[in-house]
Amino acid sequence: MSTTEQSNVHGLELVERQMLIDGAQVPSRSAETFVREAPAYGVPVGRFPEADAEDVDLAVRAARAAWAEWRQTDGATRAKLLTAVADLIRRNVDEISRTECVEAGKPIRQSRDEVLSSAGLWEYAASLARHNYGDAHNALGSDTLAMVVREPAGVVGIITPWNFPLLIVSQKLPFALASGNTAVVKPSEHTPSTTLQLGALLAEAGLPDGVVNIVTGAARAGAAITEHPGIDMLSFTGSTRVGRALAGKAGEQLKKVELELGGKNAQVVFADADLDAAVDAAVFGAYFNVGQCCNSGSRIIVEAAIADEFAHRVAKRAEHVVVGDPLDERTDVGAIVNTGQLEVIESYVRQGREAGANVLSGGNRRDGLFFDPTIFTGVTEQMTIAQEEIFGPVLSILTFQTAEEAVSLANGTSYGLSAGVWSSDVDTALSVARDLRAGTVWVNRWMDGYPELPFGGFAASGLGRELGRQALDAFSELKTIQLQVGARTGRWVDAPDDVSR
Ligand code: ADP
């Protein structure tokens, strides 16, 4: 079926959406707009305002004005609102997941999971809103009592990518709100709709106007947020290239910054592992979301003795991955997000071939924005396909002889987001897990996450952590308050206490 026929079958229509500033749905001041096409169907499905610095300024002013009151709200009120948002997300799961599926090109089953996981993040952040306390110091001397309190950072700029639009904004925004911040959010220009749908739910839940503002647009709007002096903190998820530039700007202005960037994540597979489970995790890790995850398991580092068998088992299982129409319930892998990204993937595959790696399976694009699940064997450490994030369905398989070599290969990129180890020997699993330089290490499992567990990367994979109770620290400033108990004794200047003139 051609993409045009598919779009007719699904009855896709272009939806006009507006931004959210100070509680109102607004176009951009310039009236400029941009259009998003559904990547799987090649038809326009959304038109959005193209924001510039003037729109961002209005959003920041609204967030600043709303902060005066929001920072004073008690934890119970914040928790109630965040819980209400979680409930509304669940109630609207069908509409939101269909939008995500069409706009991002991701399979409907996975879109639904993403929306429900997002609701879970709002719910967890609600529980943190009531635990936003600090420390008391009662052992500093008889005349001293001190406390360390958390205060909200202020107005947070949140910039998100297109691969998990609703999930990633939900890894940031509810935690920022739980901590008492207000926000200006900019979703990716490729997938703004579900963030705007979320904005409508925030209003329905009763969040005061201006607490969350959403602007749409591309790099220009993101840069305007980054550079606005009224933004106190930046929370960004996206490419390492943009994250680095953004951190540079934030550094000049000494803004707080939290970054979740790329990865070249490795699963280390020992010969004594449960190979059936590891093979399945290799396929899942490489092809889930077309490999467009910062956590994709784009490298397998497998013990040489079982490498051929392992690679062939992965290839066999990959044949069963259903690639195609994202709105079809049976689909496992949908469309690449856009033509530019497809070309990036093709270029990496070409580089892999030219470097002498062997294409064990796949390697080609299909009609439209689809790409074969691809496996390279005979990959060596210095090859580009072993070093750089491809963000596509391309798995590079490397081999090792010793655990030391496996760790050295796994740690041998500029990234450090996540890693995994597969072994039935507890000592091997634990010692390798300790030596892997990554923010998350999975042992005999891959790529699951929990709101309770901090997430983030070492090295070029980012700065700071999201999620977990640590999220409250990420979105807060600490203030130390020192109190005198009883009279202040002792004098700095030795002088009579003479009040007469
Ligand atoms: P991805 O392609 O994975 O979305 P990007 O890093 O290109 O990763 O984009 C992530 C987010 O950053 C998007 O919302 C994008 O519009 C925004 N962005 C792109 N360039 C800039 C920039 N120079 N400054 C701030 N934000 C930017």
Structurally, at CATH architecture level, domain 8-260+470-481 sits in 3-Layer(aba) Sandwich (3.40)
The single residue of 100, 123, 260, 388 carrying the catalytic annotation is 260
Atom of ligand 1 nearest to the CA of 239: 6
Question: DSSP secondary-structure letter at 447?
Answer: S
Q: Is the beta carbon of 210 within 6 A of some atom in ligand 1?
A: no
**Gap from CA of 223 to ligand 1 centroid (Å):** 9
Q: Is the beta carbon of 344 within 6 A of some atom in ligand 1?
A: no
The gap between the terminal CA atoms of the chain, to the nearest Å, is 98
User: In this predicted model, what pLDDT tens digit does every residue of 267-326 receive, in sequence order?
Assistant: 999 999 999 999 999 999 999 999 999 999 999 999 999 999 999 999 999 999 999 999
Q: For the chain, what are the domain ranges?
A: 8-260+470-481, 266-443
| Mean pLDDT for all residues in the chain | 96
For residues 376 and 397, the answer to whether their CB atoms sit within 8 Å is yes
Query: Is 294 one of the catalytic residues?
Result: yes
- Read off the tokens for 236: 């960004």
Closest listed residue to residue 437, CA positions, set 456, 419, 424, 464: 419
Per-residue confidence at 496, pLDDT binned at 50, 70, 90? confident
Q: Is the beta carbon of 186 within 6 A of some atom in ligand 1?
A: yes
pLDDT score of 4 more than 60: no
Q: Is the beta carbon of 164 within 6 A of some atom in ligand 1?
A: no
User: In this predicted model, what pLDDT tens digit does every residue of 411-451 receive, in sequence order?
Assistant: 999 999 999 999 999 999 999 999 999 999 999 999 999 99
CA–CA distance, 347 with 339 (Å, rounded to integer): 12
- Read off the tokens for 99: 């939008």
Helix, strand, coil % (nearest 5) of the chain?
40, 20, 40
pLDDT score of 392 more than 70: yes
User: In this predicted model, what pLDDT tens digit does every residue of 72-108 receive, in sequence order?
Assistant: 999 999 999 999 999 999 999 999 999 999 999 999 9
Residue of the CA atom closest to atom 26 of ligand 1: 222
Question: Mean per-residue pLDDT for 244-248?
Answer: 95
For residues 424 and 278, the answer to whether their CB atoms sit within 8 Å is no
Q: Check residue 5 and give its pLDDT.
A: 58
CA–CA distance, 425 with 84 (Å, rounded to integer): 45
**Gap from CA of 168 to ligand 1 centroid (Å):** 13
**Gap from CA of 187 to ligand 1 centroid (Å):** 9
- Report the b/e string of 172-194 with b at 16+ CB within 10 A: bbbbbbbbbbbbbbbbbbbbbbb
For helices 165-178 and 75-91, the axis angle rounded to 10 degrees is 160
**What is 152-221 written as a DSSP string?**
E-SEEEEE--SSSHHHHHHHHHHHHHHTT-EEEEE--TTS-HHHHHHHHHHHHHTPPTTSEEE---SHHH
Residue of the CA atom closest to atom 16 of ligand 1: 218
Q: Check residue 501 and give its pLDDT.
A: 62
Q: Check residue 495 and give its pLDDT.
A: 86
Neighbours of 308 (CB within 10 A): 14
CATH fold of 266-443:
Aldehyde Dehydrogenase; Chain A, domain 2 (3.40.309)
Q: Is the beta carbon of 231 within 6 A of some atom in ligand 1?
A: no
Residue matched to tokens 């929001």: 70
pLDDT score of 123 more than 70: yes
Q: Check residue 499 and give its pLDDT.
A: 72
Closest listed residue to residue 37, CA positions, set 17, 18, 13: 13
Q: Is the beta carbon of 263 within 6 A of some atom in ligand 1?
A: no
- Read off the tokens for 255: 């803004």
For residues 111 and 97, the answer to whether their CB atoms sit within 8 Å is yes
Residue of the CA atom closest to atom 4 of ligand 1: 161
Question: DSSP secondary-structure letter at 101?
Answer: H
- Strands, E, within 251-377: which ranges? 256-260, 266-269, 299-303, 358-361, 365-366, 370-371, 374-377
Q: Is the beta carbon of 219 within 6 A of some atom in ligand 1?
A: yes
Atom of ligand 1 nearest to the CA of 226: 25
The single residue of 50, 258, 294, 388 carrying the catalytic annotation is 294
Please give the helix or strand (H or E) that residue 403 lies within, else none. helix 403-410
Handedness of CA 310, 315, 320, 321 (dihedral sign): positive
Question: Mean per-residue pLDDT for 198-204?
Answer: 98
Q: Check residue 494 and give its pLDDT.
A: 87
Query: Is 260 one of the catalytic residues?
Result: yes
Q: Check residue 394 and give its pLDDT.
A: 97
